[in-house]
A and B are shown apart, each in its own frame.
Chain A
């Protein structure tokens, strides 16, 4: 297939969003990341013994999953997907509306969880769900118009399916705290958690990896057949896990963890092979975080299986949740975010002229400080939960906060480059025509 551009790439103007949209989500994620560690410090004594239910540990979990992870995923998907699909978003207003529903809604929801305020839970839950729902509709519409997207598109569809189910479960849980209509609140909560961590964020992380890892490393892509096979295994594991959780049938959840582990190993193995053949020797700090994240994914599935069988004792589920949410998803996301913030910053800062190099937008000292603090925080909090030591959790929170502030500084540098001059004309690109 050969495509031509008379003036250059087609519809790029429509596909490259105004920077205010993706960077609003990224800025929210950076702020929520700082807030996350503040809440961890505040709730340290409850986190070590967290077994579910309302309270600040649940709030902290949602600052992470909604505030940091989902905000980043929304900003990145809205920016990158139209470029990958070569289809502009249907409209920009739903993307802006999604932000204004989602971010304040998340703050209200977290407040409701922390304080046990049923009104804040309901209003915040509806607002956050509306924002996430708008985002999901926008993405679904964009994917629908690009059926040739292959494995990455399939990952996005699975993630969207998970979003629909997790929103339904999440809203039911939020209202159940005041109305009490669910007969198995804990079972629905577990299913909701699995859908959020492994279904929505996890599947998106797997799918985006197939584009971003080879691109960052200058390597060949993973063959479609392999990534599609891995996705099938992953989806089967997810379905089993959710059914097992809803039926409160622990052996099924444990079996799902084994299946998920096979999928995760297939995914990581494929990316390891990609990295082996890369042309870029020095991958930097971001890939250290990615590798730690991949390791934590494997550990989370092992812990999940053992916790389901009750072999990890009373703190098993807290350990599992911590490793999955903080160890895998947060670590992976921060590794990716430090690369995409820089190159999206470069794209938007070009403003029709020579784009600044990604290296010019990066602050290595801040990222190194962040990585060191993040690793220390993970180790301290894991030990704190395992040994029921609130002081270790609090120490981890303080160190994590230092790292988050360093990461926010790096983000502020990128934002400064993007917004320091008036918005520039985006490259004019004529319609692509196929030869």
Chain B
């Protein structure tokens, strides 16, 4: 049976950055996912600290993970250390962006 953190990571592929059209996992915004006793903690970042879309992405991540079976609560931790860089984008993401 898949680990809850893995299920959460899969689910987060459905959260798209509307400006870029790429999901937040391939965009490299998800730094870590941990699941303990049904509480999923997502550590994530934004491409820039002042990113106006950021709050919407956090809410999208929380909603989609909260809907997974076995999830009691979702905690989203936001960090800018280390800061996001273009190198954080996955190979799949780069291919989608035409890179």
Chain A interface (Cβ < 8 Å from any Cβ of B): 1-9, 12, 15-16, 79-80, 83-85, 149, 152, 211, 214-216, 218-221, 277-282, 339, 342-344, 346-347, 350, 354-359, 427, 429, 432, 435
B48 contacts A211, C-beta separation under 8 Å: yes
Given contacts A214-B48, A218-B47, A279-B94, contact A1 B80 (CB under 8 A): yes
In residues 29-77 of chain B, which contact A (Cβ within 8 Å)?
Answer: 43, 47-56, 58-62, 75-77
Q: Which of A9, A220, A279, A350 contacts B58 (CB 8 A)?
A: A9
Chain B residues whose C-beta falls within 8 Å of the C-beta of A359 in the assembled complex: 21
Q: How far is the CA of A80 from the CA of B16 in the complex (A)?
A: 20
Cβ B78 vs Cβ A9 within 8 A: yes
Q: How far is the CA of A2 from the CA of B50 in the complex (A)?
A: 15
B53 touches A220 (CB 8 A): no
The 8 A CB mask of B79-99 against A (1 = contact, 0 = none) is 111000110010001100111
Further pairs besides A2-B78, A8-B61, A346-B18: 19, Cβ < 8 Å: A3-B77, A4-B77, A4-B78, A5-B76, A5-B77, A7-B62, A80-B50, A211-B50, A216-B19, A218-B47, A279-B99, A281-B98, A339-B19, A343-B18, A355-B60, A359-B21, A427-B56, A427-B58, A429-B55
Once bound together, how far apart are the Cα atoms of A249 and B75, in whole Å? 62
Contact B79 A3 (CB under 8 A): yes
Residues of A within 8 A of B77 (CB): 2-5, 435
Measured between beta carbons, the chain B residues less than 8 angstroms from A214 are 47-48
**B20 near A: Cβ within 8 Å?**
yes
- In the complex, which residues of chain A have a beta carbon less than 8 angstroms from the beta carbon of B76? 4-5, 8-9
B52 and A218 contact, CB distance less than 8 A: no
Question: A414 vs B14: C-alpha distance in the bound complex, in angstroms?
Answer: 23
Residues in A whose Cβ lies below 8 Å from that of B50: 80, 83-85, 149, 152, 211
Q: How far is the CA of A278 from the CA of B55 in the complex (A)?
A: 23
Q: How far apart are the CA atoms of A429 and B18 in the complex, in Å? A: 20
Set A6, A282, A427: member contacting B98, Cβ < 8 A: A282
B-chain residues with CB within 8 Å of residue A355 when the two chains form the complex:
16, 18, 56, 60
**Contact of A347 with B52 in the complex, beta carbons under 8 Å:** yes
Going nearest first, the 9 A-B pairs with the smallest beta carbon separation are A84-B50, A427-B59, A281-B98, A12-B55, A346-B18, A9-B55, A279-B86, A3-B78, A2-B79
A214: nearest chain-B partner, CB-CB: B48
Contact A83 B55 (CB under 8 A): yes
**Is B58 touching A218 in the complex (CB atoms < 8 A)?**
no
In the bound assembly, the distance between CA atoms of A272 and B75 in angstroms comes to 38
Question: What are 19 of the A-B contact pairs (CB < 8 Å)?
Answer: A3-B79, A5-B76, A5-B77, A83-B52, A215-B47, A215-B48, A216-B19, A218-B97, A278-B86, A279-B93, A279-B97, A281-B99, A343-B53, A346-B53, A347-B52, A355-B56, A357-B21, A358-B18, A427-B59
Residue in B19, B60, B99 whose CB lies within 8 Å of A354: B60
Provide the residues of chain A in CB contact with B16, threshold 8 Å: 354-355, 357
| Chain B residue, CB-CB nearest to A432 | B78
